[in-house]
Chain A
């Protein structure tokens, strides 16, 4: 129990140690400056530009930028869909996996291009090695690169003055993939293999006693699934599978990999807008919410399952056992590491799991659910977390402006009706997808039949599914039988709305801000690097999340907690 809290502190400390050098490095990469990786990767980057017939320096307006992102993602969808349909006749398929049904293939393709990685399939029983590599691993990289590109475009909108361009989408996509995601993934993959994660093209192993061990090129996919905050496991059990995460050290690497880039990007932002304090303020707001959430989960899961209290079961932590609520958890992680992982994976838009959230205590499960519903802006996804948080910052300065009766500004840009409309759309669309989707599922008898746990928890399973998909998280209350047409198509729609319903408004804001001129700070300007602003930002995020979701949460985890005595 105490070790769990020490581990939590150690995690935050090491995370900072990674973010401080990584943030400015990403800024250099995205601004096209030379780094120590350029002697190796520079020729590759230029070679790709030459084949594309561009120089990489052409500035795009926001509409062209958005069109490029859309084309790129559409190609990704087609590739993943076709691979799943054709894997039966393609190579690297030692277990002879057949083609997937259309609904499932559609759901999975949407899921991976939107950085959600919702999985209505079990990897080791469904996908060929080729589909996992060339379909899913690729989208783990490219969906993360997409969000990094959009974020950087937004930052350029804030920095630039009376400019029509917000950067070149192709250069942003290629640079973030080649210089940031690829080298870090390679390092993480090898670290994971050193701990025991597997990496092989060999067929499944049959033991003398008849046990079948699923194999595959696992570590390379797992590394980017964490680093790109994608979360789609190579195996059904995800990061709980010993071949994905063999011990507590590999588990710790998984967790650091999720938050590394989202935390670093706050500092990238500070460097790019030439005011580091702005980045630290956003990072501070994220950390405050994260620590609150983490404390609740750690406490709730360590206490154990109240439903087993009357049985002769020892749930108390001692030197001889970790104890706590161990259903759906692994001994090598224990309740402590699993609580930390669950909080991280849902604060970020990762969605990998190292224990089943469905079996968490009601309060322990409420926290991951609510973190997703807040919009995954607490560190959040690679790129998407920070552009989401910057939307809340715009809302924050807007509310501040209303209080003193002045036109709100952020980083010297006037925030006017257009920006507020776009920010509101981007915040409301995913919420609408969650609540309307949940309501539709509850009203449908076929959709409700997928519930596996009785009582309020069954409702939570559906609410969790739509929250996870619309916010592009991908974790699940896994008992829900989601591989039916209602969920395959309904949740895919939620994923698309939650992804592109935010990306396009964000790019529109970037375009609009970029055209504006710089307004010097005045007496009525709310400074956005102070503790006061951090408090405003935290308040806005929590308030919007509470107003939108408390009624639904009361029907689910809160009711379950009250009933479970």
Chain B
């Protein structure tokens, strides 16, 4: 039995060094050379400043912008802080939880108040919180739902805004993987450039 102590210790230390130090270091080095932008977080910069990551959603509340999905993330003290990139997470509300129904009703009310003219049913992703709380996307339906409000607030032609949404709509990858989506941050940045 005693015999196993040296092999155990040496095997553990050697394998720890290989898988816990060498492996992540090599992958980091290779990533930096081959995929520098992705490895650093696909950051979007303007005037030398980081304004966000194209993969991480941001809290948009201005009627002039397209809004992303509700986010259930909190700050270090547990207070709501939507799209907190340092503390990802979801609501974990059960489908049977009355709080979920209440939250959805409140979100519908906010959308209706911001745009009384659009009266159809609300696309589900626009009133349910995402898994990460950082979802950068909404469905094309959720974008279409907001076109009237955004165009009106910006004094733009609705058709023009709709075209922009179309141009930013990404189909399921390889035709069948995942759902169709629109990146909210990229769409809003493009909106700023629209004249």
Contacts and interface: CB of A to CB of B under 8 A. Distances in A.
A330 B174 CA distance: 18
B88 A235 contact: yes
A321 B41 contact: no
Given A248-B172, A560-B96, A190 B42 contact: no
A72 interface: yes
B132 A240 contact: yes
B11 interface: yes
A208 B91 contact: no
Contact of A331 (B24, B122, B127, B138): B138
Interface in A265-322: 304-308, 311-315, 318-322
Contacts of B27: 186, 189-190, 193, 199, 217, 219-220
A203 B44 CA distance: 17
Interface stretch (A17-25, A155-163, A449-457): A449-457
B180 A200 contact: no
Nearest to B35: A193
Task: Report which residue of B90, B136, B140 has the largest number of chain A beta carbons within 10 angstroms of its beta carbon.
Answer: B90
Contacts of A502: none
B124 A315 contact: yes
Interface of B: prevailing SS:
mixed
A332 B94 contact: no
B161 interface: no
Given A213-B53, A359-B90, A248 B95 contact: no
Interface in B135-184: 135-142, 144, 172-181
A134 B14 contact: no
A308 B104 contact: yes
B95 A362 contact: yes
A247 B178 contact: yes
B123 A133 contact: no
A452 B100 CA distance: 12
Interface in B116-133: 120-125, 127-133
A320 B94 contact: no
A251 B132 CA distance: 14
B38 A198 contact: yes
A237 B89 contact: yes
Contact of B24 (A3, A217, A323): A217
**Interface residues of B toward A: which range?**
35 or more
B1 interface: yes
B179 A336 contact: yes
Contacts of B84: 211-212
A207 B86 CA distance: 12
Nearest to B100: A327
A95 to B, nearest CB: 8
A334 interface: yes
Contacts of B96: 307, 362, 453-457, 560, 563-564
Interface string B4-43: 1111111110111011110110111011101100111111
A6 interface: yes
A177 interface: yes
A477 B6 CA distance: 41
Interface string B82-111: 011111111111111110110011001000
A248 B20 contact: no
Contacts of B120: 312, 314
Contacts of B88: 122, 124, 214, 235-237, 240-241
Given A125-B76, A198-B38, A242-B134, A334 B95 contact: no
Task: Report which residue of B18, B121, B176 has the largest number of chain A beta carbons within 10 angstroms of its beta carbon.
Answer: B176
Task: Report which residue of A125, A237, A324 has the largest number of chain B beta carbons within 10 angstroms of its beta carbon.
Answer: A237
Given A141-B19, A321-B141, A215 B41 contact: yes
A313 B104 contact: yes
B187 interface: no
B92 A51 contact: no
Nearest to A95: B86
Interface in A491-507: none
A500 B68 CA distance: 46
A242 B52 contact: no
Contacts of A478: 89-90, 92
A478 B23 CA distance: 31
Given A3-B175, A359-B92, 6 more contacts: A173-B11, A248-B173, A311-B101, A452-B92, A457-B94, A478-B89
Interface of B: 1, 4-12, 14-16, 18-21, 23-24, 26-28, 30-32, 34-35, 38-43, 46, 49-53, 55-56, 58, 69, 76, 83-98, 100-101, 104-105, 108, 120-125, 127-142, 144, 172-181
29 contacts: A53-B6, A53-B7, A75-B12, A138-B19, A141-B15, A170-B7, A174-B15, A197-B38, A200-B39, A204-B86, A206-B50, A213-B52, A214-B87, A215-B41, A220-B27, A242-B136, A249-B177, A311-B104, A312-B108, A313-B108, A319-B180, A322-B179, A327-B95, A328-B131, A337-B179, A355-B131, A359-B90, A454-B97, A457-B96
Interface of A: 3, 6-7, 10, 44, 48, 51-54, 64, 67-68, 71-72, 75-76, 79, 122, 124-125, 133-135, 137-138, 141-142, 145, 170, 173-174, 177-178, 181-182, 185-186, 189-190, 193-202, 204-209, 211-215, 217, 219-221, 224, 235-237, 240-243, 246-249, 251-252, 304-308, 311-315, 318-334, 336-338, 353-356, 358-362, 452-457, 477-479, 560, 563-564
Per CB-CB distance, the 7 closest pairs between chain A and chain B, nearest first, are A248-B178, A322-B179, A334-B179, A479-B92, A240-B131, A237-B88, A321-B139
